[in-house]
Chains A and B, each alone.
Chain A
Amino acid sequence: MSGAPAETFRDEELLADVICRLIGQDNQQDCQNVRHIAVGAASPIPATAALLARERGQGRPYVSLLGSRQHTFFTDGARELFDCAGQARIDAFFLSGGQIDGEGNINLVSVGDYDHPKARFPGSFGSTYLYYVVPKVILFRVEHSRRTLVPKVDFISAPGGSPDNVFRPGGPIALVTNRCLFDFDRARRRFRLASVHPGHSVAEVIENTGFDFDRPEHVPLTPAPSTDTLRLLRSTVAPMLAEVYPQFAERVFGVEPPVPSS
């Protein structure tokens, strides 16, 4: 995108811009061009990125936001998202985790022993299926700490990789946090530090990451969003978010929440 870097932007705007570039990027041999992006539950920043990608592409890729009436074309109820993924008609999806480990395993269930947990998360949602079948899964976890990025997850909602005989066209391509961007090497099941966000450092990333990862000698700085990107986000994307993510749209972009009564 053209345009000089803007002077001020919010973390959420930077992360949406990073995710938007990942959607468009072709860094895995088995990933074709992205025709359809789906966004699941509790994913306001990925939703922002997906809508930004659609705006930049003038209506393509298609975007399906779970829970939306306005930004989806599904007419077969809640199951169509999963059926569509099974048909290989979803090219990119987003997953998070209460814990994520260095092999790309994600935990959306609990900390400690499953039968006597020390902490409980909401549950696995669709991850135990979508992580396997969607070609480009972008992991996102805003809180980058040793609590969230751990050596080994306590519960595998979905594994980062599978043995060769398991049907697995999909899996992780990257992990985005509030501090940095990691690429994921599927063959080696390992993250590599790809860039560090403005205002953060490699030393800080190492300090706050519970798993080992690869890194180049010189780690680039994540580019700031351009003025064009910020304009698109604030003027066009933000009002669309208010339907599914009213709290987020109000907090980040100052959009008034929809009126509850009809």
Chain B
Amino acid sequence: MTAIVRTLDEALAPIVDGCMLAVPRESSGVPMAATRALIRRGVKRLHLVTLPTSTLQADLLIGAGCVETLETSAVSLGEFGPAPRFTAAVLAGTIRMRDATCPALHAQFQAAEKGVPFMPLRGLVGSDVLAHRTDWKLVDNPFGNNDPIVLLPALKPDVALFHAPLADRAGNVFVGIQRELIAMAHAAGKTIVTVEKIYDGDMLRDPLLAAGTLPGFYVEAVAVEPRGAWPLPLPDHYAIDGAHIAEYARLAATAEGFADYLQRYVHQRAAVVA
């Protein structure tokens, strides 16, 4: 049996060109070291699904030409303004958009984790979000009387990828209260996790840890990447590196500046170890 704990590049091997890749929102543990490794490897034609939003991670992958389809509720740099490469790509028509809304993506992952074909959701009726989603269906509630409701198909990503504080050698991963990461792993074919450090012992044996743990049963590979969410935050561990995000926003405003950023912070690996 291959060990679950691997080097970063080995762990990321299942993320092949053209696959559907699910990633979390900024405050749930974004695998930025892994994202930089994927860009260095030159992954192409990703169908990127954000649960439910994204910031720097989606913008970097789009700018680096890794994304063909983007399924998301929103991409921005939060307090640092619009996501410049996302905006440029949509305006240039170089990525295919599937605009969603946050609870719809959560519901679609929940359908997949339950093994059912769809999940109903309130809201949506009469919006242009629904109008542009031919894969979403408006039906009459079979238990109601003239009650229109939308059905959303289950979403089963090929790979889920996120960053977490801890894993043990059996691949049990501590996610704490970021429990949508567990739904993401349940829905995905394979789950790859980067972690701050390895926990010596079995996290499932400690009831306090086990309550916030994704069992290694669902996990394909773990790689240890200290400060692996940098420059984004890891809740309870480190804050966002605001000065770096501000520098990114400034550079990525132009294609040339973005290329300069990639060269400095992605391709020259030494510069990344802050």
Contacts and interface: CB of A to CB of B under 8 A. Distances in A.
A246 B104 CA distance: 29
B74 to A, nearest CB: 3
Q: Is the interface of B mostly helix, strand, loop or mixed?
A: mixed
A41 B238 contact: no
Interface in A30-54: 41-42, 44
B205 interface: no
Interface size class of A (residues with CB under 8 A): 35 or more
A67 B29 CA distance: 11
A42 B78 contact: yes
B26 A258 contact: no
Q: Which of B26, B72, B101 has the most CB of A within 10 A?
A: B101
Interface stretch (A127-135, A190-198, A226-234): A127-135
B82 to A, nearest CB: 7
A128 B101 contact: yes
A177 interface: no
Nearest to B124: A128
A43 B132 CA distance: 27
A158 interface: yes
A125 B102 CA distance: 6
A133 B79 contact: no
A129 B72 contact: no
Contacts of A155: 128
A162 B79 contact: no
A79 interface: yes
B104 A128 contact: yes
Contact of A128 (B80, B90, B123, B180): B123
Given A42-B79, A78-B51, A125-B74, A157 B239 contact: no
A86 B122 contact: yes
A41 to B, nearest CB: 7
Given A157-B129, A246-B79, A122 B74 contact: yes
Interface of A: 41-42, 44, 66-67, 69, 74-79, 81-83, 86, 108-110, 114, 116-133, 155-159, 162-163, 165-167, 245-248, 257-262
